[in-house]
Chain A
């Protein structure tokens, strides 16, 4: 069965960086892409961006363009999301979700369990 397993909770200080991992199993990793979506406490869902596990193409939401980098390691079927220059309003649960291989225009069929990132001094 398809599974996306994310890394554990992180506590970071303002200005630091965080890297969240998302290990995929149960399907051919390079046949899909990975999206990252975040959810601030008691808030809705915010799409951050997409990376193709097929060819490494990315599409980032403009709001995160300057601070986010998404990568994949096809040898371990793992996707990574790094967010830099963290602020208190980056405190959220970060989800990875499986999407399309060739475009960010895809529904999100499978989701990771979420990673809580807390930014606090």
Chain B
């Protein structure tokens, strides 16, 4: 199966700063079938990005995704208070679909 490794494990930043989250795959991800999700405590995950770079409906444009092959990035251009959460990447090109272990973005 495709193993996704997210880094860093925790990102400590202040509101207004830029966040850069990495997701590296153990094999090339087919057709950029890579998604990003946000999860807040006690809530279900929410889709942010699909197809590596496409924002889901209703997602603010401060969230952007990039990358291809084995290296992908989620960027939050200016952190808002509601953006402090855990972020997961997921590849859905090869079965089984797999998730990264998550990156926690916390308030510095």
Contact = CB atoms under 8 A, between A and B. Distances in A.
Contact of B47 (A37, A45, A46, A109): A109
A73 B55 CA distance: 32
A107 B92 contact: yes
Given A35-B97, A45-B45, 13 more contacts: A44-B88, A44-B99, A47-B98, A59-B96, A62-B96, A97-B45, A105-B92, A105-B94, A107-B47, A108-B35, A108-B37, A109-B50, A110-B47
Interface residues of A, number: 23
Contacts of B37: 45, 108
A107 B50 contact: yes
Contacts, number: 61
A78 B91 CA distance: 26
Contacts of A106: 92
11 contacts: A44-B88, A44-B102, A45-B45, A46-B99, A47-B98, A61-B96, A105-B95, A107-B51, A108-B45, A111-B44, A111-B46
Interface in A35-88: 35, 37, 44-47, 59, 61-62
Interface residues of B, number: 24
A104 interface: yes
A35 B35 CA distance: 15
Nearest to B93: A105
